[in-house]
Amino acid sequence: GDSVTQMEGPVTLSEEAFLTINCTYTATGYPSLFWYVQYPGEGLQLLLKATKADDKGSNKGFEATYRKETTSFHLEKGSVQVSDSAVYFCALSDQAGTALIFGKGTTLSVSS
Amino acid sequence: KAGVTQTPRYLIKTRGQQVTLSCSPISGHRSVSWYQQTPGQGLQFLFEYFSETQRNKGNFPGRFSGRQFSNSRSEMNVSTLELGDSALYLCASSYLGPTSYEQYFGPGTRLTVT
């Protein structure tokens, strides 16, 4: 079945460092891809999305490009801040388009 | 605009009991989804409702059920609770569906089964 694999955490960075969180997927068809973020004690928030190959989603300095040839959707940010500390989830839409399949999540910790 | 609200926020139940969790979506949203979040399995899809109809169901036993009312509010029920049902249950709403429209998550209900 469809699945998402993302890098294990935790990822620990200093403020202003470059961030990459790897995400690869297995899917039939052409799913939409998402990154969600979960701050401590809160629900998930949509960070960015891409709906077709070569689309780039971006928000709050974060970017991810839908790479069909490598089945990847890696999350990047040029300069992280302490406030970016959270758990990041990569997800894809199922074939019916009515459910999201999530990766296990990657914990990011940024220190000043 | 009020966000997605879930009640109660915390619950402690005993094995064998049943529990009902409630979710109020954002006004105007007709799609409501439920997810179970655990440290071991991560986020797993339970079911999605749209206009009172279940459109999709995840791979969970029949002890897990849900429904949606005409005002789009949703409830999920877990019968004959097991220790493994301890989890954070997240509800999410979207205008017409979770992939074409942004999905907004509530803060979750933390269920502990003892």
Please indicate whether residue A52 or residue B97 has the higher confidence score (pLDDT). Answer: A52
A71-97 tens-digit pLDDT = 999 999 999 999 999 999 999 988 888
A33 within 8 A of A54, measured Cβ to Cβ? no
Q: What is the pLDDT of residue B74?
A: 98
Q: What is the pLDDT of residue A22?
A: 97
Report the gap between the CA of A6 and the closest CA in chain B (Å): 12
What are the structure tokens assigned to A62, written together? 């974060």
**Residue among A43, A93, A103 whose CB faces B90 most closely:** A43
Taking residues A16-43, report their average pLDDT: 93
- Alpha-carbon dihedral angle through residues A100, A101, A104, A105, given to the nearest 10 degrees: -30
Q: Which residue of B has its CA nearest to A105?
A: B42
Beta bridge partners of A50: A33
Taking residues A40-56, report their average pLDDT: 92
Q: Is the confidence at residue B1, as pLDDT, over 70?
A: no
A10-28 tens-digit pLDDT = 999 999 999 999 999 999 8
B42-101 tens-digit pLDDT = 999 999 999 999 999 999 999 999 999 999 999 999 999 999 999 999 999 999 887 777
Taking residues A29-38, report their average pLDDT: 93
> B36 to each of A15, A81, A91, how far by Cα in Å?
32, 30, 15
Task: Give the Cα separation of B68 and B90 in Å (integer).
Answer: 15
Task: With beta carbons under 8 A apart, name residues in chain A contacting B45.
Answer: 94, 99-101
Q: What phi, psi does A65 have (nearest 5°)?
A: -115, 130
Please indicate whether residue A111 or residue A43 has the higher confidence score (pLDDT). Answer: A111
Q: How confident is the model at residue A43 (pLDDT cuts 50, 70, 90)?
A: confident
